[in-house]
Structure 1
Amino acid sequence: MSRRPALNMIRSAFWPTVAVAVIVYFAGAAIVGQNGLFSLAGYRHQRAEHLVTLQSLQAERARLAHHADLLDPRHVDPDFAEEMVRKQTGQIRPDEVILPAN
């Protein structure tokens, strides 16, 4: 007969124990998990790196847009066109210096 109260106590404690275990699991994941609070510093570092990359890509894009404007079919910049042709045909000597006209 002494087993009956112990079994009832175990049964009554089962679901609250499961609920506490689930809460502890999700709380731990929120703090230490892949997207938790501890990974926030890593995200800030990645964001800073990506901003530097973005700025360099924007500068490259602006440079290419400028070159595209210089090669506009309605009005081609003669100096830039000559520079491009000489580079493509290999007419630039190694000791020659080309100054960009920006």
Structure 2
Amino acid sequence: MPRAATRQRKQSKFRRLITPAIAIAALAYFGFHAMNGELGLVGRALIENRVAELETELGELTKERQQLVARVSLLRPESLDPDMLDERARLTLNLANTNELVVLRPGHRY
């Protein structure tokens, strides 16, 4: 009689560990990037800090813009302020009266 063609092999210990090892490696990879990735927990804190900085800067720039708009409105023909006109003319022409005191500030553009 011929021998049976199929033989059963005993599964090795390493073969049983392949699937759990791949699963653990995938979990470790995704877990690491969930914590340290660009959009992870650490990255989110950095983004929130940057948003806070930009909101502060936006507030300062908005305030500065409002001040500039108020100054420009004083130069419009319908609401021309004589003092503002005098100030701009003296600044542009670089003139002063003999009885005026001129204070030069360092780093200020005249």
TM exceeding 0.5 = yes
Which has the greater radius of gyration? 2
Unpaired runs of 5+ residues, structure 1, are 98-102
Query: What is the percentage of aligned positions where both structures have the same residue?
Result: 28
Report what 2:65 is aligned to.
Answer: 61
TM-score (norm 2): 0.63
Q: How far apart are the structure 1 equivalents of 2:77 and 2:93?
A: 21
Could you say which structure has the higher helix fraction?
1
| Unaligned residue ranges in structure 2 (runs of 5+) | 1-6, 104-110
Q: 1:90 to 1:3 in 2, by over 3 A?
A: farther
Q: CA RMSD for the aligned pairs?
A: 3.2
TM score, norm. by length of structure 1 = 0.67
> Which one is further off, 37-46 or 74-83?
37-46
- Residues 16-58 of structure 1 show CA distances to partners (whole Å, capped at 9, x for unaligned) of 5334322221111111223221334433433332232122111
Matches within 5 A, 1:1-102: 5-6=11-12, 10=15, 13-92=17-96, 95-96=101-102
